[in-house]
Amino acid sequence: MLYIIATPLGHPDDLSIRALKVLAECEIIICESTKETSKLLRHHGITGKKYEVLDEHSKSGALSELIQLCELHTCALVSDCGTPGFCDPGSDLVKILRKKKIPMRILPGPSSIAALLSVCGIKNSEFLFIGFVPAENQAREKKWKELQSETSQRLRPFIIMDTPYRLTKTLDDLSRHFPKRQCVLMIDVTLESEIIIEDLPNVLLEKFRGQKAEFIIWVGV
């Protein structure tokens, strides 16, 4: 059995009562980082858990072991923040478990996408979710050009995210490829340092140049 559990985006108290109960009772917690997950659980008085790591560096052999554990034990899958199994390595595990018909239960909760949409103040019937843009320069540039072409043929807003240390790079990329698109930038959501700001990419770039922070961006039409 695997429980898929959404964890806080920032503030540790944004964890549902049901999630706390399951995390306290489950035998094994599958996480991206034992440091981040154990810190969250200690905040809520949960200790002594067995952790298994599933991250971008995990090998196929590790995935096979996790599948066996889910067959034999009650496990919980969490990411460092937000909803797991989406833009993180947990998706591979979930896909295989579904095919093997191993029971799974979803405990929904915090989602950076839902949080961003709630503050955009724009009614949209559809948008593109791009997720993480490639880190390698050549692949990254190719992705931006593909996105330019796609969104010019059919004008639609899109959402992108990246690692904290690529905030400046992402805003610079947007300034070059989508200079006239109004953006909503959400930084450190739910924390005291939370910022939600709307402006053109070049303005945001000058304001946040050199900064590192958790972020997600709505790029309008």
pLDDT the model gives residue 206: 97
| Tally of structural domains, the chain | 2
CB-based contacts of 60, cutoff 8 Å, min separation 6: none
Same domain for 20 and 97, yes or no, is: yes
Same domain for 73 and 134, yes or no, is: no
Region 43-64: mean pLDDT is 90
Q: How far apart are the first and last CA of the chain?
A: 43
Same domain for 160 and 191, yes or no, is: yes
Same domain for 102 and 117, yes or no, is: no
pLDDT the model gives residue 73: 96
Per-residue pLDDT tens digits for 108-130? 999 999 999 999 887 767 889 99
Same domain for 90 and 120, yes or no, is: no
Same domain for 98 and 6, yes or no, is: yes
Q: With 90 as the cut, is the pLDDT of residue 72 above it?
A: yes
Same domain for 31 and 95, yes or no, is: yes
The enclosing domain of 161 has a CATH number of 3.30.950.10
Same domain for 14 and 99, yes or no, is: yes
Question: Mean pLDDT, the chain, as a whole number?
Answer: 93
Same domain for 143 and 66, yes or no, is: no
Region 81-99: mean pLDDT is 89
pLDDT band at 218 (very low <50, low <70, confident <90, very high): very high
Query: Of 71, 91, 107, at which residue does a domain stop?
Result: 107
Q: With 90 as the cut, is the pLDDT of residue 87 above it?
A: no
pLDDT the model gives residue 85: 83
- Measure the CA–CA gap between 174 and 190, rounded to whole angstroms: 25
Percent of the chain clearing pLDDT 70 (strictly above):
99
CA dihedral 200, 206, 207, 211 (to 10 degrees): 120
Region 134-162: mean pLDDT is 90
pLDDT the model gives residue 62: 86
Same domain for 167 and 205, yes or no, is: yes
28: which strand partners? 50, 75
pLDDT the model gives residue 89: 81
pLDDT the model gives residue 29: 97
pLDDT the model gives residue 100: 94
Gyration radius of the chain over CA positions: 19
Q: Residue 164 is part of which domain span?
A: 112-219
pLDDT the model gives residue 202: 98
At 53 the three-state DSSP class reads strand
Query: Of 43, 75, 107, at which residue does a domain stop?
Result: 107
pLDDT the model gives residue 124: 65
pTM value?
0.88
Query: Of 79, 107, 135, at which residue does a domain stop?
Result: 107
Same domain for 143 and 181, yes or no, is: yes
What does DSSP assign to residue 10?
S
Same domain for 49 and 122, yes or no, is: no
- Measure the CA–CA gap between 81 and 113, rounded to whole angstroms: 12
Per-residue pLDDT tens digits for 16-39? 999 999 999 999 999 999 999 999
The enclosing domain of 98 has a CATH number of 3.40.1010.10
